[in-house]
């Protein structure tokens, strides 16, 4: 009888949907915390700071690459997908990180960089050795034109042709990024199988999901057709800086190919073998970003969510843009899901892109962060944005990023958003390391250190903690529908609805007061706990400069 009773006890339900509406905190491991005094952050350093991250109130962490690599692109050029680079630690350190994160209630997502490898990878070494070896077709190889020039006009995001001549095979190979980052050939089923084996390796170690780097670059057109020119009036700098001729082409053939959907379905099927694994894909396509996100997240057989560069581009956020992007996504992706971000390791920090010219930058950052965390979709926060860190202005001799070195000085690269996290304003190097850091710690960042802000209710850090708790208390923010209401000028107004809960969210992105008339028929009950200022009466919401108001529709 007792045995039968034990069998009838139900198992704790697994939340397979945890990713929907999750807030994910991105960690750039080189710059988070150095535990061994070599000036480079590492996995043990992340473990040391996990209580801080859990204390913010986020749901998950995303760790940028820590795999074995020659570090020409700082981990985004992999030589061994199934091992940790010694500068970051060991596999045992990673296992300890996963265990501690799970103990603290945090999911762990890692960066999968599978569109390309380093040219040091054993796969590429074998592939380039001859045209007949077992891995000869694992990368994208093509013969020269009769005049010896590259097979077509495709360009690398890092500048110049996307084709590199190889003297061993007497052929060109494709590289969408550095010439030392050859592209894998996803048309080869064996390549797909090998990459799915890599994915299983990390799932078996307990990771909860993946951020898929350059997800729309996996496949190229077999025909190797030239990309057409893009008219000047259609060029934008969402995917590459304005000084980069990459923007001169309509990238019809070198990425975002229809075959990608089949691989993503294979990838999702693997993830679905595990209790609650999820993935978010990075879509770099300036012309068709939202459409690609919609295609890749449609239904339940592809990736769970994607993000494009709509809010990561240089253009300043505005009320009209927020509404336009969200409504456009809602139309093209009726059953898809996006993950929104204002900053990451590849773009200038939004504290510099957007807030630098504001009357009160801190108040502005508070209201735009509240807006970000109120949108329909999941959210990525980049380390240091909760402190209001600005883009570091580095000297040329301090640069590490090959992208910035190539396009200096008009484009200074990505080092300015990758400088070390600042923990203690009174400690050497802001508490990041006892040694000289791999990138300098800007003096102006010390005043924004965690030690300065924590406990100060007026600080940006405490605002993030407060708002994340407020968001967590209302399920409509995580999974609810969104409907935009009338808003003039700098005012953004929408409702979030989940079940019987309907919340009106009103934001003023400007420094001058704003008023929103919702109509006398709206009976509004204000919600507290978010810490932002605003008032409502008789269907009208009054917002001070950089103010916000939240209320239930009674």
Structure tokens at 84: 């940790």
Beta strand 23-27 pairing with 60-63:
parallel
What is the three-class DSSP state of 98? helix
Q: What is the DSSP letter of 545?
A: T
Are 125 and 117 contacting, i.e. CB atoms less than 8 angstroms apart? no
CA distance 158 to 176: 8
Beta strand 305-307 pairing with 278-282:
parallel
273 catalytic? Reply is yes
Which listed residue (11, 147, 233, 273) is catalytic? Answer: 273
3-state secondary structure 39-64: CCCCHHHHHHHHHHHHHHCCCEEEEC
3-state secondary structure 288-347: CHHHHHHHHHCCCCCCCEEECCCCCCCCCCCHHHHHHHHHHHHHHCCCCCEEECCCCCCC
What is the three-class DSSP state of 507? strand
Angle at 193 between CA 187 and CA 197, to 5 degrees: 145
213 catalytic? Reply is yes
Q: How far is CA 424 from the centre of its chain?
A: 26
Structure tokens at 12: 């704790």
| 209 half-sphere exposure, CB direction, 13 A CA radius | 27
CA distance 492 to 148: 55
Q: What is the DSSP letter of 161?
A: B
Structure tokens at 174: 């494709």
CA distance 510 to 85: 46
**Burial (0-12, 13-18, 19+ Cβ within 10 Å), 37:** exposed
Q: 358 to each of 43, 89, 312, how far by Cα in Å?
A: 37, 42, 19
Q: What is the DSSP letter of 247?
A: G
Token pair 């509406």 is at which residue?
A: 21
What is the three-class DSSP state of 1? coil
Which listed residue (180, 213, 285, 415) is catalytic? Answer: 213
Are 169 and 130 contacting, i.e. CB atoms less than 8 angstroms apart? yes
Of 180, 181, 210, 206, nearest in space to 195 by CA: 210
Its sign, for the CA torsion 430, 433, 434, 439, is negative
**Burial (0-12, 13-18, 19+ Cβ within 10 Å), 438:** buried
- Where in the sequence numbering do the catalytic residues fall? 213, 273
């Amino acid at each position: 009888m007792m045995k039968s009773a034990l069998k009838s006890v139900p198992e704790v339900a697994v939340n397979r949907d945890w990713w929907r509406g999750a807030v994910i905190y991105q960690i750039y491991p080189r710059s988070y915390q150095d535990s061994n005094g070599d000036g480079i952050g590492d996995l043990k350093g992340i473990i040391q700071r996990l209580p801080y991250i859990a204390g913010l109130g986020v749901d998950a962490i995303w760790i940028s690459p820590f795999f074995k690599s020659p570090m020409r692109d700082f981990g985004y050029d992999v030589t061994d997908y199934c091992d940790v680079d010694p500068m970051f630690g060991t596999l045992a350190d990673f296992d300890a990180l996963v265990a501690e994160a799970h103990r603290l209630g945090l999911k762990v997502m890692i960066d999968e960089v599978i569109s390309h490898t380093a040219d040091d990878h054993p796969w590429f070494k074998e592939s380039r050795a001859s045209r007949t070896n077992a891995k000869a077709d694992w990368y994208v190889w093509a013969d020269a034109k009769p005049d010896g020039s590259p097979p077509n006009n495709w360009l690398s995001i890092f500048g110049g042709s996307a084709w590199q001549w190889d003297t061993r095979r007497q052929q060109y190979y494709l590289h969408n990024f550095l010439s030392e980052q050859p592209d894998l050939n996803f048309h080869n089923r064996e390549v797909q199988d090998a990459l799915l084996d890599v994915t299983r390796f990390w799932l078996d170690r307990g990771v909860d999901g993946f951020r898929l780097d350059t997800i729309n670059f996996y496949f190229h057109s077999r025909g190797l057709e030239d990309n057409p020119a893009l008219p000047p009036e259609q060029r934008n700098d969402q995917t590459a800086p304005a000084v980069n001729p990459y923007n001169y082409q309509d990238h019809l053939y070198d990425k975002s190919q229809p075959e990608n959907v089949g691989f993503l379905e294979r990838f999702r099927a693997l993830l679905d073998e595990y209790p609650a694994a999820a993935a978010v894909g990075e879509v770099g396509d300036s012309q068709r970003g939202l459409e690609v996100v919609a295609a890749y997240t449609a239904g339940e057989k592809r990736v769970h969510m994607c993000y494009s560069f709509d809010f990561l581009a240089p253009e300043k956020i505005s009320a009209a843009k927020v509404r336009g992007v969200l409504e456009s996504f809602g139309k093209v992706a009726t059953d898809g899901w996006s993950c929104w971000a204002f900053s990451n390791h590849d773009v200038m920090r939004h504290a510099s892109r957007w807030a630098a010219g504001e009357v009160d930058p801190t108040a502005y950052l508070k209201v735009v962060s509240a807006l970000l965390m109120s949108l329909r979709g999941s959210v990525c926060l980049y380390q240091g944005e909760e402190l209001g860190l600005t883009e570091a202005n580095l000297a040329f001799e301090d640069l590490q990023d090959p992208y910035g070195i190539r396009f200096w000085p008009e484009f200074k690269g990505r080092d300015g958003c990758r400088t070390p996290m600042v923990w203690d304003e009174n400690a050497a190097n802001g508490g990041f390391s006892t040694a000289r850091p791999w990138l300098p710690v800007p003096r102006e960042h010390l005043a924004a250190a965690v030690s300065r802000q924590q406990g100060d209710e007026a600080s940006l850090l405490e605002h993030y903690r407060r708002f994340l708790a407020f968001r967590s208390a209302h399920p409509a923010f995580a999974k609810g529908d969104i409907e935009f209401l009338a808003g003039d000028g700098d005012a953004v107004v929408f409702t979030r609805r989940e079940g019987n809960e309907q919340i009106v969210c009103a934001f003023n992105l400007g420094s001058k007061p704003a008023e929103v008339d919702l109509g006398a028929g709206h009976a509004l009950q204000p919600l507290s706990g978010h810490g932002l200022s605003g008032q409502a009466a008789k269907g009208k919401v009054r917002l001070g400069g950089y103010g916000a108001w939240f209320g239930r529709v009674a």
